[in-house]
Amino acid sequence: MTTQRHYSPIDRLLLQADAAMRTLLPFSGQPYRPSPAILQPDTPMSDEDTRHVAGLMRINHTGEVCAQALYQGQALTAKLPQVREAMEHAAEEEIDHLVWCEQRIHQLGSHTSVLNPLFYGMSFGIGAVAGLISDKVSLGFVAATEHQVCKHLNEHLEQLPAEDEKSRAILEQMRIDEEHHAESALDAGGFRFPAPVKFGMSLLAKVMTKSTYRI
């Protein structure tokens, strides 16, 4: 018979610190699934297209950094054990996206955003506050965030050069996963945020995308 380990507050803080380091340090994450890009041909692109795609993938990488922080913050303050476990499981799945984007960025000869630590801290705080309010709000925030991510992914898929099948394969799989996360959060009882809240979240997302496209 196996028993589930119960972590103390100090244990959880140490685990959060470890998760932050694995998210922010280059090439420190280990994906659970191989990148969809490995099955696609490496087609040459113009310098302009390469820089543009690198910028788009940098935005998506920072989005995954924010997702990691959001889930970790919510897991820290979630009241119900099953909600905490769901947040931690979702964070594990998002690691795939984080690593896939990072790999593609470096294949394109570019770099991840230097602003990632700032966005990680902000997202962790938002997630922790949402968890403190209620698990219903926390799950609702996940759903609203994932819907926002899917919107950006759709926009980026439209902007990709036709020949860039590697980036397209990554973003298409990410969209499938994010849609599943959003549906799961709502099915678990997540609060459906009203339009004004979603609009505010959209404005914050625009700040992130504009600032991380180049830096």
Confirm or deny that 97 is annotated as ligand binding.
Answer: yes
pLDDT tens digits, residue range 29-87?
Answer: 788 899 999 999 999 999 999 999 999 999 999 999 998 888 888 877 877 777 767 77
Phi, psi for residue 102 in degrees, rounded to 5: -60, -45
Asked if residue 115 has pLDDT above 80, the reply is: yes
Distance between CA atoms of residues 8 and 98, nearest Å:
28
**Residue 25 burial by CB count (10 A; 0-12/13-18/19+): exposed, middle or buried?**
exposed
Average pLDDT over residues 7-23: 70
Confirm or deny that 178 is annotated as ligand binding.
Answer: yes
| Residue-level pLDDT at 1 | 41
Average pLDDT over residues 6-27: 70
Q: Could you identify the residue written with the tokens 């018979």?
A: 1
Greater pLDDT, 208 or 17: 208
Confirm or deny that 147 is annotated as ligand binding.
Answer: no
pTM for the full model?
Answer: 0.86
Confirm or deny that 94 is annotated as ligand binding.
Answer: yes
pLDDT tens digits, residue range 142-158?
Answer: 888 888 899 999 999 99
Count the neighbouring beta carbons within 10 Å of the beta carbon of residue 118: 14
Confirm or deny that 93 is annotated as ligand binding.
Answer: no
Distance between CA atoms of residues 215 and 203, nearest Å:
19
pLDDT tens digits, residue range 168-201?
Answer: 999 999 999 999 888 888 887 888 887 777 778 8
Distance between CA atoms of residues 20 and 37, nearest Å:
26
